[in-house]
Structure 1
């Protein structure tokens, strides 16, 4: 159980590192949502940087898939059926994110040694919109996964109850932001507010869970035999 906790903690940590690098340090730095010409030019002129960001996203997806296995092993003693449900929703998230990455890969191919034409700009912006929509749908499934994971933590005899509550708060943030992004026509006007709603609880909740897995998780295994629930 200790080894599974360590694997889960390392995987979560790698998701934080690769995700923040790929999304915030690379992708967000290349985007000018109101100017397709500048955005496309950034992809063309910073093609290697964009490629590094794409690799970061691929690493993020790999470790996310690894967590499907490791978290199942970590929580199956609490309730196997509910753990299957948590794994299912995390797999759905990984599936949608994987499909979304193909949109970025298409942009990477289109902008290799390309000229900045109006046609290319339209294609790039359409692919970016598709990427964002698919990832948002995936994050809704991820939010549901966190609800189930948070419930498992609350039912567990060895995961701190506070972590379960923090994971539930993170789940609410993902779901509120995802629903708003998909269905609010003026979402962009409140983007900063929704980013705070999703980023603050997710970073606090998931990072706290990561730290617990890496440092404190399962140091003492006494009582695990009594941790099963129907």
Structure 2
């Protein structure tokens, strides 16, 4: 009885940790990518992008901090998901955890490109040695590298969500609508970012985004809210 109560407590702690982390990540991603990156980076316009970032260094630094927060929380979620999902299927829960850690590592590599942009803009030696057009091209390449590397990571992330969705589907505690949304979100992530990585035409990627946008938002965020308010209150099992 004591052991059962302890297990239930551990599950609840893991659920709360996962839920809070996912919600904070959604907010941080909305700020770093949705607001800052979306405001500063103008696709196809290197000059405007350069001047936007150069004139908003503090905002750009805040974006990088947001990404680092997301990276740390991804590691925490990889652990808490494993704790919460292993009663259903320990092998798949471990696989999902490693996939998320792999994604986090790829995200870390992507974030370094943002740091390189910051170094270029903050170092007076680089500014004096490079012509303005050379500086702009270098910054544009680092920003494109960020997008490409992150897209590769999001393919791995999509596979992670697919595994999590399947585990959730096996559980008799997690609502089936959440498992379906997680699987749809996984398909969306994999399809969109395979398209970006393979340089498929933009209109095809845009169509996939329109189809899967809602499940991609609702899937993990909905799971996070369920974990926060309901997860671990009863024994989770297959």
TM-score by length of 1: 0.92
Query: How many pairs are equivalent?
Result: 223
Are 1:44 and 1:112, in contact at CA under 8 Å, matched by a contact in 2?
A: no
Are 2:40 and 2:52, in contact at CA under 8 Å, matched by a contact in 1?
A: yes
In structure 2, how many angstroms separate the alpha carbons of the residues matched to 1:74 and 1:217? Answer: 9
Alignment of 1:40-119 (within 5 A): 40-112=50-122, 117-119=132-134
Give 1:33 shift: 1.4
Question: For residues 101 and 198 of structure 1, do their structure 2 counterparts lie closer, same or farther at Cα, with a shift above 3 Å needed?
Answer: farther
Across the aligned residues of Structure 1 and Structure 2, the Cα RMSD in angstroms comes to 1.6
User: Which one of 220, 235, 238 corresponds to residue 206 of structure 1?
Assistant: 220
User: Which one of 128, 149, 155 corresponds to residue 140 of structure 1?
Assistant: 155
Are 1:166 and 1:205, in contact at CA under 8 Å, matched by a contact in 2?
A: yes
Match of 1:111, SS state, is: helix
Question: For residues 199 and 111 of structure 1, do their structure 2 counterparts lie closer, same or farther at Cα, with a shift above 3 Å needed?
Answer: farther
In structure 1, how many angstroms separate the alpha carbons of the residues matched to 2:207 and 2:80? Answer: 33
Give 1:197 shift: 3.8
Unaligned segments of structure 1, at least 5 residues:
none
Give 1:69 shift: 0.5
1:19 to 2:24 alignment:
no
Give 1:216 shift: 1.8
User: Which one of 212, 216, 227 corresponds to residue 230 of structure 2?
Assistant: 216
1:195 to 2:209 alignment:
yes
Question: For residues 167 and 127 of structure 1, do their structure 2 counterparts lie closer, same or farther at Cα, with a shift above 3 Å needed?
Answer: same
In structure 1, how many angstroms separate the alpha carbons of the residues matched to 2:211 and 2:68? Answer: 26
Give 1:35 shift: 1.1
User: Which one of 170, 193, 196 corresponds to residue 178 of structure 1?
Assistant: 193
Unaligned segments of structure 2, at least 5 residues:
1-10
Which stretch shifts more, 155-164 or 99-108? 155-164
Give 1:20 shift: 0.7
TM-score by length of 2: 0.89
